[in-house]
């Protein structure tokens, strides 16, 4: 997958803020999944927290991949715990990655 890096046409700052928001939510959901949680009181049911946590985990993985691609990295550089670049598991999420890239694209009105 060849990428052309144009940092001025993508809103990377907004992407990083969204990643931080979902990462904070993951910490909250991890605490809510526990039977005896460590902080605060239970606000949602454990099964609901588990489902949201799993969805956010996949979403965060895709967001990290988009961030890496926008910085000009290959999938192997983003997640280097796999043997080959051509059979990397992130290729299964290629459509979602491209859709998310489009979300953070800044349209030029000129």
Q: What's the pLDDT band for 15 if we cut at 50, 70, 90?
A: very high
Is the Cα dihedral 55, 96, 105, 103 positive or negative? negative
Residues 63, 22 contacting (CB under 8 angstroms) = yes
What is the percent of the chain with per-residue pLDDT over 90, rounded to a whole number? 39
DSSP calls for the chain: ------TTSB-HHHHHHHHHHHHHHHHHHHHHHSSS-SSS---S-HHHHHHHHHHHHHHHHHHHHHHHHHTT--HHHHS-SSS-STT-GGGGGHHHHHHHHHHTBPPP--
* Whether residue 7 has pLDDT greater than 50: no
Mean per-residue pLDDT, 1-18: 73
Q: How much is the average pLDDT of 16-35?
A: 90
**Which has the higher per-residue pLDDT, 94 or 4?**
94
Distance CA 32, CA 47 (A): 9
User: Residue 105 forms beta bridges with which residues?
Assistant: 10
Q: Distance between CA 105 and CA 64 in Å, rounded?
A: 16
Instruction: Please state the rounded mean pLDDT for residues 51-80.
Output: 91
Q: Can you give the pLDDT at residue 1?
A: 52
Residues whose CB is less than 8 angstroms from the CB of residue 84 and which lie 6 or more positions away in sequence, other chains included: none
pLDDT at 108: 64
Q: What's this model's pTM, rounded to 2 decimal places? A: 0.79
């Amino acid at each position: 997958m060849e990428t052309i890096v144009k940092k001025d046409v993508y809103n990377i700052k907004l992407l990083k803020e969204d990643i931080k928001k979902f990462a904070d939510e993951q910490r909250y959901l991890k605490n809510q999944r526990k039977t005896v949680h460590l902080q605060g009181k239970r606000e949602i049911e454990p099964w609901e927290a588990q489902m949201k946590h799993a969805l956010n985990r996949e979403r965060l993985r895709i967001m990290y991949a988009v961030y890496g691609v926008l910085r000009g990295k290959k999938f192997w550089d983003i997640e280097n715990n796999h043997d080959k670049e051509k059979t990397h598991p992130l290729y299964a999420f290629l459509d979602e990655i491209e859709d998310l890239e489009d979300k953070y694209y800044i349209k030029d009105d000129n």
